[in-house]
Amino acid sequence: MEDPNFNNNIFFEKEIIVLKFLFNTIIPESKSVLMPSAAILINSIDLFSIEFVNLIRKSLSIIDLITMNQVEKKWASFLDSERTDIINEFKRKNVRLYNELSLKAVSHYYCNEVVLKSIGIKSIPLFPEGNSVLEGDLLLLENVFLRNSFYRV
């Protein structure tokens, strides 16, 4: 279900920075096989479902609370090791939420055109709608109707 007011300006710059790190934690970059990290999904935020966006918002708000509880510092001033500790705490305290977020991120990741090309998939799905057939378009079945019946023996 599409929201007409839905666009890719739905996250603040600070949230994008945290989200990139979170996505990198879910699927890190692989230099050996030239696979991008899940942070590549940031480029296709406008393709996210509202459900996925809400899941991300909930995760980011919990991560923000964890960050404020630790120290009165901005995310940008944390070292990568401190960021990893915050994400690990988020994972420990919100296992179901993290798993659901990871599942959605992985499914979006493997629909990304760059990722599919990196793994050598030639045909790219028509994300996010898929391959749709108009209702009543029976011309696709014409060859089946014209073919004589045959039975396996």
pLDDT at residue 45, rounded to an integer: 87
Residue among 86, 81, 51 at smallest CA distance from 67: 86
Instruction: Evaluate if residue 69 carries a pLDDT over 90.
Output: no
The Cα 108–Cα 54 span in angstroms is 15
The Cα 81–Cα 132 span in angstroms is 45
Determine contact, residues 59/97, Cβ cutoff 8 Å: yes
At residue 95, what is the residue type?
Answer: V
The Cα 35–Cα 2 span in angstroms is 30
Predicted structure pTM score: 0.70
Tokens of 54: 């809400």
At residue 93, what is the residue type?
Answer: K
Instruction: Evaluate if residue 70 carries a pLDDT over 70.
Output: no
pLDDT at residue 1, rounded to an integer: 40
- Pick the residue with more confidence: 67 or 88? 88
The Cα 77–Cα 126 span in angstroms is 40
- Report residue 112's pLDDT band, with 50, 70 and 90 as the boundaries: confident
Tokens of 20: 């990139």
By residue count, the chain amounts to: 153
Instruction: Evaluate if residue 5 carries a pLDDT over 50.
Output: no
CA 122 to chain centre: 21
pLDDT at residue 3, rounded to an integer: 44
| Residues sharing a CB contact under 8 Å with residue 79, sequence separation 6 or more, in sequence order | none
pLDDT at residue 89, rounded to an integer: 93
3-state secondary structure of 93: helix
pLDDT at residue 63, rounded to an integer: 92
